[in-house]
Structure 1
C-alpha cells in the first residue's frame, strides 16, 4: 500500500468499561482525578491465593446493554466488549443499517478469552460428568467471540477478526482496523480489547510466574509503575473500544473527531516467553516504526501512554526503549501509566489506554501515574507523577507489550 492511496483515519467514538468507571465520561474523570481502582477481590474467594487484590469492574449491569438471555450466554469479557462497543457507537452517533453494514467491521482482541466459563465448566465436567457440560461452553470461551457477538449485536457485516497477542491484543486490533480503513476495505471499524481474567486459575498462574504484586495489605498503592518499590502488576478487567472512520466519511456525516490515528508499529523481541529483551530494542523499534508510518519525528511527540505495568523488568526496559527511540527528546515528553489506576487489563489494556490517549489529545490534559513516590533511578523520565497536568497534546503514542515478545505502538495526533 503506497502513501498515495492511503486513506486518512479518525477516531469518532469511544467506549469504556473499566475499574474506575463504566462509561467514557466516568473513566476520564477517574483518570484525571487519579482514582484508585484496585481493591480486595470480591468476584470469588481468594483467601487461599498469594495475591488477593485486583482491579475489578464495579457496579456493572450487563442488562443495561442486552437482555438476560443474551447476557447468560456470554462470558464476562464478551459482555464488556458488547457494552463498550454500544457506548462507542452511540458516542460516534454512527448508525449501522442495510446501506452501510458491509462497510463497518469489528476487530476486538483478548489475551485469554472466556477463562471464567472454562474453569466453571471444568468443575461441572469433573463433578457431574461430560453430559452435563453446557452446549454454550465453546462459543462462550473462545477469544474471537467478543468480536463476533459485537457484530451480531450491532449488525456490522464488514471485516471481522480478533488479535490474541497477550497484552498487546487490544492495540494490535486497533492497528489492524486502522490498516483496513487505510486500504479501503472498510469505512468504519469497531475496535479495541476486552478481558475478564480475574479468576482463580488465572490469578494462581500469574502468581506462580512471579508477575503479580503481593501488596495485599495496601491494594490502593499496589500498582506503582516506575516506582523503586514496585513488585509486580495488578490484574484488571474491562473493555476499551474505539470507532475508527475514514476521515472524509466522518466529515461528510458531521461527526465529532477526537483525534486522527496516524501510525502503527509492531515488532517481536524473539527473545523470551515472558521477559522483555534487555535494553528494550524490540519495543524501541515498534515506537520508531509507528513514527515512520505516521511521518512524524520524535520531537513532535507530546505524550506517551506507557505500557507501564509496575513490574521490575517492564518499567526500566520500557524507559530504555523510549530513550532509544526518541533520543534526547525522551526527557521532554510527558509519560504516564494509567495502569497505576486501573491495573493491567491484559488483552483489554490497549483498548482502554487508546481511549485514554485520544481523550488526552481531545482535552489537552494528561492523566497521572499515581503511587509514584520513590522513582527508580533507572526510570528517570517525566511520568506525570501523581497529579494530572494541563498541556497541549499534538501527537501522542500508546505502547503495549505482551508475553511472547509482542510489541505494539499506536500513534495519534490532533485533527486539523
Structure 2
C-alpha cells in the first residue's frame, strides 16, 4: 500500500512589498481597501501607474555587499530572511538539508537596462553586469548569505514562476530531498527599458487622472489594463512530521498544487488550461469545489484575461460558483509578474490564518462576463468558517499554476 503523502506546513512568512515589509501591517492595509499604486515617470516615456517598494538595501547588506547585487536580489534576500526568522530558523543548521526554490520572470532588469544603456550610449558596461543580471541571481544571493547547501533552483515561467517554485518545493519535501524548503519569488522591473517594452505590448493601464490608486480594476466593466508592481515574498515549508521537533505551529497547510498548460497562444489565456489546473489541484487535494471558500484570483485587469478566469471558475465550481469568494489583490499591490504567485500565496495563507477575505479594490461595476461568483469588493470581509482556499497564477506562454491551502 502506498504511504499517505506528508502534509506540508507553512511555518514562515516574509515579504518586501508595495504594501510594506511587515506581514500583519500589509494585511491590515489590504483589508481596509488601501492601495499602493502611484504615478511613475521615466525619461521619454508616458507616465505609468505602478506599485513600487520603499526599500533600503542597507537593512540586509553592507555598502560593499551591495556592489554588484541587483535590486531584485536585495529584496529577495530581505524577504527570505524575514520568512526564516518567522519560522524560527535564523540559524538553519545542516545547510545540505535545506532547499531554495525561487521564481522570477526577468531577474536583474535594472542591471540589464543599465548595461544596454551604457553600450548604446558609448560608455563602459559595468563589469558585473552578467552575474548581477542573471536570472538565478536572487537565488544565488540568498543561498550565499543564508548558508543553503541543498538544491538551489530558479524557475522562470512568466507570471507563474513563484507559484511553480512553491509547488516544486513541496514536491521536494514529500520526496525527502530536503527537510526545509524556502520557496517564493521576486521581481524588480520598474526600469525604463522594461516599462517601454510593456507599453509596446499595450497591456498597461494608464494612470487614472482622478484616482491613480484605482488604475488597476480587475473584473471591472471599465478595466483597461494591468499595473506593474515589484517586491518579493517567501514561505518556509516543512513536513508535518517534522513540526514537533521544530516546535512550530503552522500558519496554514499547503495541501496540493497543479501545473497545466494551455498550449494555445503565447499571450492570450485559454479556459481549457485553467480548468485543467484547477481540477487537477482539487483532485490532488481530494477536495470538492464546494469545499473551497476563497479564490485569490490571478485577476490582472486585462480586457482579455479576467473573463477567461471567471469562466474557468464557473465551469469548475458549477452550482457552487455563487458561493465562492473571489478577489484579486493585484488591485492593491500591482502585478509582480514572476513574484506575483508568491505574494498572493502568502496573502492566501493570511486569509486562512486570520479568517478574513481581502477585497478587490477600486471596482464599482462588474463586467457582466465576470459575474456569477461571490466577488469581494471595496473592503475585506470576515470569513469565520474558511477552511480551504486556492491561489491562481496564469502565465504568458500558457502555464497555469494553482495552489491549494488549508486552515491550520
Give yes or no for TM over 0.5: yes
Q: How much has 1:324 moved relative to structure 2?
A: 1.4
Q: How much has 1:30 moved relative to structure 2?
A: 1.7
Does residue 399 of structure 2 align to residue 403 of structure 1? no
Take 1:3 and 1:191, find their aligned partners in 2: how far apart are those partners?
27
- The residue aligned with 1:110 is 104
Q: Secondary structure at the match of 2:377?
A: coil
Take 1:403 and 1:180, find their aligned partners in 2: how far apart are those partners?
26
Q: Secondary structure at the match of 2:148?
A: coil
Deviations 1:194-246 (A, max 9, x none): 00011111111111111110134232110110000000000000011000111
Take 2:2 and 2:260, find their aligned partners in 1: how far apart are those partners?
21
- The answer (yes or no) to whether the contact 2:39–2:47 under 8 Å persists in 1 is no
Q: 1:278-297 residue pairs with structure 2 within 5 A? A: 280-297=271-288
- The residue aligned with 1:101 is 95
Q: How much has 1:5 moved relative to structure 2?
A: 5.3
- The residue aligned with 2:135 is 143
- The residue aligned with 2:32 is 33
Deviates more, 1:393-402 or 1:211-220: 211-220
Q: How much has 1:96 moved relative to structure 2?
A: 3.7
Does residue 154 of structure 2 align to residue 159 of structure 1? no
Does residue 50 of structure 2 align to residue 57 of structure 1? no
Q: How much has 1:3 moved relative to structure 2?
A: 5.5
RMSD between superposed Cα atoms in Å:
1.4
Q: Secondary structure at the match of 1:396?
A: strand
Take 1:359 and 1:346, find their aligned partners in 2: how far apart are those partners?
20
Q: Secondary structure at the match of 2:101?
A: strand
TM-score, scaled relative to structure 1: 0.94
Task: State the number of aligned residues.
Answer: 405
- The answer (yes or no) to whether the contact 2:39–2:207 under 8 Å persists in 1 is no
Take 2:369 and 2:19, find their aligned partners in 1: how far apart are those partners?
29
Deviations 1:60-87 (A, max 9, x none): 1111112122223211111111000000
Take 1:215 and 1:63, find their aligned partners in 2: how far apart are those partners?
31
Deviations 1:286-336 (A, max 9, x none): 011111111111111011100010111111100001111221212111111
Take 1:105 and 1:236, find their aligned partners in 2: how far apart are those partners?
27
- The answer (yes or no) to whether the contact 1:34–1:386 under 8 Å persists in 2 is yes
Residue number among 147, 170, 174 corresponding to 1:178 in the alignment: 170
Take 1:63 and 1:345, find their aligned partners in 2: how far apart are those partners?
23
Residue number among 334, 338, 341 corresponding to 1:343 in the alignment: 334
Take 1:172 and 1:51, find their aligned partners in 2: how far apart are those partners?
32
Q: Secondary structure at the match of 2:374?
A: coil
- The answer (yes or no) to whether the contact 2:100–2:181 under 8 Å persists in 1 is yes
Does residue 285 of structure 2 align to residue 276 of structure 1? no
Unaligned runs of 5+ in 2: none
- The residue aligned with 2:228 is 235
Take 2:35 and 2:102, find their aligned partners in 1: how far apart are those partners?
26
Take 2:90 and 2:287, find their aligned partners in 1: how far apart are those partners?
33
- The answer (yes or no) to whether the contact 1:106–1:161 under 8 Å persists in 2 is yes
TM-score, scaled relative to structure 2: 0.96
